[in-house]
Amino acid sequence: MDQPANDLIKLSTGNFTVEELEAIFSALPAEVSFVDKNDIVRFFSNKPDRLFLRGKGALGRDLRLCHPPRFQAVMQQIIGDFKSGKEDRVLFWRSSHKDKFISIEYIALRNENKEYLGTLEVVQDISDIRILEGDRQELVYTKKG
């Protein structure tokens, strides 16, 4: 049965139900968080195997309060550089987080007029990607679960 049009989240290239969109974010091989232009945490994907634990209490809070004190100055600089237009992306990586090699990328979100809308944080375990070599073009299933 088709979904009623008013229950869909409509985007410029398609639409989703809330259930479908939540399933997409849960299935992505990365954790995604969104901080608005006022530095308020507005969204994070709810993956069951998160690398960085984040409770719903983070929603509506200032971004800087969601990071350990030693990272607050760095976060302030990143956000300042994004807002000023000086930078658009910042990439960090850690090789000793829960025995995984992870990337942490911050991406400035901008509208068509290049106005700052907020920041996207993408955290991903890249341990398996990091060791890839050569080509693989045949079908190989990855681990289930």
Ordered by start, the domain boundaries in the chain are 31-130
**pLDDT per residue as tens digits for the range 102-111:** 999 999 999 9
Ramachandran bin of 85, using left for φ above 0, alpha for ψ from -120 to 50, beta for the remaining angles? left
**pLDDT per residue as tens digits for the range 70-106:** 888 898 999 999 999 999 999 999 887 678 899 999 9
**Spatial distance between the Cα atoms of 76 and 48, rounded to a whole number of angstroms:** 29
Q: What does 110-131 look like in DSSP terms, one character per residue? A: E-TT--EEEEEEEEEE-HHHHT
**pTM for the structure as a whole:** 0.83
**Class of the domain covering 31-130:** alpha beta
